[in-house]
């Protein structure tokens, strides 16, 4: 899996006016972070979270991304979704506790600090913890808050998690929603 993808636009797009006019002939996307998902969710406005996320990851204005062909938006969305592909394929019930070894350790400082992470220790949330996380806002903001709360790590560190690690933690929490059958041994 590559961390970036370049999409050559079938029709170059322009933005800006006069001397500030710029032509965009391709966009290069990178792997999102948890903070990128949260920021796109907050900035979604009339364009939606997906378009806002593509704009954020490519560094191209959202109104330019909005002018892309649908098939190229789909290509960008497929690339972004590929980082959570493995996590989304786990329909099993989650264990009560787990330690996730991060694919990409978070290094926010050069010091030995709680901001830096190489793993996340998570457990099944209580209803109270879930309610607390709900106050954070949309689905991505709630997951950032829940991971921070359960993992006892700063939100800034959670926001720096690469998509693969963030979505693995999200899948872990979603695994508690898998219902047990009445005749199961669990």
The model's pLDDT over 69-90, given as tens digits with 9 standing for 90+, comes to 999 999 999 999 998 876 666 5
Checking if the pLDDT of 8 tops 90, the result is yes
Checking if the pLDDT of 129 tops 80, the result is yes
pLDDT at position 15 is 87
Residues 60, 104, single domain; the answer is no
50's CB contacts (< 8 A; 6+ apart) are 40, 73, 77
Domain contains 184? no
Specify the pairing of strand 22-30 against strand 117-123: unpaired
151-155 contacts at long range (C-beta below 8 A, 24 or more positions apart): 151/120, 151/121, 151/122, 152/121, 153/114, 153/117, 153/120, 154/114, 154/115
Domain contains 118? yes
Query: What domain range is 96 assigned to?
Result: 90-177
pLDDT at position 12 is 94
Residues 103, 60, single domain; the answer is no
Domain contains 67? yes
Checking if the pLDDT of 181 tops 70, the result is no
Residues 76, 54, single domain; the answer is yes
Mean pLDDT (whole number) for 103-111: 84
pLDDT at position 31 is 96
Checking if the pLDDT of 122 tops 60, the result is yes
Domain contains 183? no
Residues 32, 53, single domain; the answer is yes
- Helices first, then strands: H and E counts in the chain: 9, 4
Location of structure tokens 């996380």 = 133
Residues 79, 116, single domain; the answer is no
Residues 59, 94, single domain; the answer is no
Residues 167, 152, single domain; the answer is yes
State the total domains in the chain: 2
Mean pLDDT (whole number) for 18-27: 92
Residues 107, 149, single domain; the answer is yes
pLDDT at position 109 is 79
- Listed ranges 64-68, 82-86, 181-185; the one with the highest mean pLDDT: 64-68
Residues 56, 102, single domain; the answer is no
Domain contains 103? yes
DSSP conformation class of 162: B
pLDDT at position 178 is 59
Q: Which helix (H) or strand (E) holds 152?
A: none
Domain contains 69? yes
**Which range is least confidently modeled, 44-48, 64-68, 84-88?**
84-88
Domain contains 48? yes
The last residue of one of the domains, among 24, 59, 83, is: 83
Checking if the pLDDT of 93 tops 90, the result is no
């Amino acid at each position: 899996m590559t961390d970036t993808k370049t999409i050559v636009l079938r029709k170059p797009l322009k933005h800006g006016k006069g001397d500030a006019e710029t032509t965009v002939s391709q966009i290069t996307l990178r792997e999102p972070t948890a903070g990128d998902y949260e920021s796109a969710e907050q900035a979604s406005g009339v364009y939606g979270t997906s378009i806002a996320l593509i704009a954020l990851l490519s560094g191209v204005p959202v109104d330019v991304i909005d002018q892309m062909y649908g098939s190229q938006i789909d290509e960008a969305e497929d690339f972004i979704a590929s980082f959570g592909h493995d996590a989304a394929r786990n329909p099993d019930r989650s264990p009560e506790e787990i330690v996730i070894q991060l694919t990409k350790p978070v290094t926010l400082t050069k010091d030995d600090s709680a901001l830096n992470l190489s793993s996340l220790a998570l457990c099944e949330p209580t209803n109270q913890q879930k309610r607390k996380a709900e106050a954070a806002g949309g689905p991505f903001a709630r997951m950032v808050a829940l991971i921070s709360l359960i993992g006892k790590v700063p939100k800034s560190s959670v926001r720096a998690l690469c998509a693969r690690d963030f979505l693995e933690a999200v899948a872990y929490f979603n695994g508690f929603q898998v219902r047990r059958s009445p005749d199961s041994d669990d």
